[in-house]
Chain A
Amino acid sequence: MGVEVRVVGLTKSFGRQPVWSNVTLTLPAGEISVLLGPSGTGKSVFLKTLVGLLKPDRGQIWIDGKNLPKLNERALYKTRRLFGVLFQDGALFGSMNIYDNVAFPLREHTRRTEAEIRRVVTEKLDMVGLVGAERKLPGEISGGMRKRAGLARALVLDPEIILFDEPDSGLDPVRTAYLNQLIIDLNQQTGATFLIVTHDINTARTVPDNIGLIYHGQLAMFGPREMLLSSTEPVVRQFLNAQRVGPIGMAEEKDADELKAEADAGVSLPPLPPIPLQLQPSDGRPRAAERPAGQWCAENGVTPPEGSFREEVPV
């Protein structure tokens, strides 16, 4: 039922160019976390480091009592089976059809009969709504279908931790909404730990239980959703509300002169928009890690913005 992932002081650089340093966070077991950040801040690199595809310069990743960067190759491959990863474009094997793609991990890792494999594959394809497309090659289907097929393949070994690399990139808003609903439902059904890397604000506001923000090579903030959505910290506030006013500029961070000019001109951040309700599973039962809306704000004496936690909040 989900595994906790504890990251301590993680630092990564390519050559002399640092990507991010000293990232410390804990993905609580069974909860959905979202990692946000402007483009090019190394979110995907973080994901790849988390599954051991890239070695961090420093720091620890504790999963199931094991420190991932220190594992030898055999133990690493074993631990990786806890993970399911949805890559940006699905990363399907181009030479195999959808069915064989989803069946691939089962055929490689288990000694199940073809009949059993067929049952599991059909079940997973049904979950992502791809029954009927089994015989298609990845090149013949749309980007959204590739993503869903990649998700079915990631789910087939019943992973405890599922990572999503920009599930909403290149999808239209309707497909994104469907995919987000699917993520919530999967989380409720499997109880696995989810981490979604994205820069889609709408996803970040409604899907997760926790939000993290990477900015300027640092983890600016990580915590419960309500904490970040009610935060007045400039970077967090600017990014989560998609505003131009704030420390993040077009190129990189704004320099001191620009910020001063902004302050002198009397430009101030607009008021925080209301916090929307979390997306609910489609079967009407509560989320895997359901907490009453507004609980965090109440416990920490934070007044949520006017109009928060109401149905039909405009985003």
Chain B
Amino acid sequence: MKGGKALAETGDFFAFCLDTILGLAKRPWQVREFIQQAWFISSVSILPAALVSIPFGAVIALQLGSLVRQLGAQSFTGAASVLAVVREAGPIVTALIIAGAGGSAICADLGSRKIREELDAMQVLGIDPVRRLVTPRVVAAMIVAVLLNGLVSVVGVAGGYFFNVVLQGGTPGAYLASFQALGQLPDLLVGEVKALLFGMVAALVAAYKGMTAKGGPKGVGDAVNQTVVITFMLLFAMNFVITAIYFQVVPQKGS
């Protein structure tokens, strides 16, 4: 019985995703709502993303710095830093922030609208809340995630540069010159694709959980909690699968 319920909910979720995507096909597009939401998601995610990516870049620089020096491969610190930040840290930080800050905000917003009967009222006024509210949020989260990934990469690499060059006495020229040694453009592209998908999944899960919240204010709290846990698990699993596929499909430098 319980398994059947979980299966039914999964089915509901996929139907909901389909509705959201179909919402894109219907005019008029909710441009205003989209811009407002993109701005809102950016405002809750930019600062934490930047603050989290600085220590990420720094940790990598610290970890690698002394090791690389002992091996006499200082000229590759920049390469390693770029590789680690752009390929892995960027998408992971983006996933954390999009799920933790963006997703929880979307879920709390829609959940409180649900329990205040705002969504019912909207449907009675002849407006489909999925098309009016969810689709713009999902698109906004996707675009903000892509931009966020760019930001995280830049700030992470800059953080690595600062720690390597300023604190560990590395050579600035070597750090910059080795950027291209191991990393390549497809690394950045796959990072952006990951971010796009993370934004989509996080927003869809958050919106679904919010719109099916029930049982008063506690129900909204539960929904937000579940959103964060479910999106974290989904995003980390997706990250692994996409990375595995990427390594199979795109030939790597130096291998």
Contacts and interface: CB of A to CB of B under 8 A. Distances in A.
A104 interface: yes
Contacts of B127: 77, 105, 108-109
A88 B123 CA distance: 16
B118 A88 contact: no
A104 B125 contact: yes
A153 B126 CA distance: 13
Contacts of B113: 93-94
Interface residues of A, number: 25
A91 interface: yes
A89 B120 contact: no
Contact of B124 (A78, A85, A108, A109): A85
A53 B121 CA distance: 10
A262 B86 CA distance: 80
B118 A77 contact: no
B251 to A, nearest CB: 48
Interface in B96-140: 112-113, 116-118, 120-128, 132
A77 B121 contact: no
Contacts of A78: 126
Given A94-B112, A94-B113, A77 B120 contact: no
A89 B117 contact: yes
Contacts of B126: 77-78, 80-81, 105, 108-109, 157
Contact of A91 (B117, B128, B132): B117
A95 to B, nearest CB: 9
Nearest to B109: A95
Contacts of A84: 124
A85 B128 contact: no
Interface in B172-204: none
A78 B124 CA distance: 10
Contacts of A80: 123-126
A312 B90 CA distance: 76
A222 interface: no
Q: From DSSP, what is the main secondary structure of chain A's interface residues?
A: mixed
Contacts of B132: 108
Contacts of A46: none
Interface in B63-122: 112-113, 116-118, 120-122
A44 to B, nearest CB: 10
A87 B125 contact: no
A51 interface: yes
B167 to A, nearest CB: 46
A83 interface: yes
A48 interface: yes
A88 B124 CA distance: 14
A92 interface: yes
B123 A91 contact: no
A105 B125 contact: yes
Nearest to A82: B126
B15 to A, nearest CB: 12
A109 B126 CA distance: 8
A108 B125 contact: yes
B106 to A, nearest CB: 14
Contacts of A88: 117
Contacts of A108: 125-127, 132
Nearest to A77: B126
B116 A85 contact: no
A94 B109 CA distance: 10
B128 A53 contact: no
B120 A48 contact: yes
A100 to B, nearest CB: 12
B112 A91 contact: no
10 contacts: A77-B127, A77-B128, A85-B124, A91-B116, A93-B113, A93-B121, A94-B116, A105-B126, A153-B121, A157-B125
Interface of A: 48, 51, 53, 73, 77-78, 80-81, 83-85, 87-89, 91-94, 104-105, 108-109, 150, 153, 157
Chain A to chain B: the 8 pairs with minimum beta-carbon distance, closest first: A91-B121, A91-B117, A85-B124, A81-B126, A87-B117, A105-B125, A80-B126, A77-B126
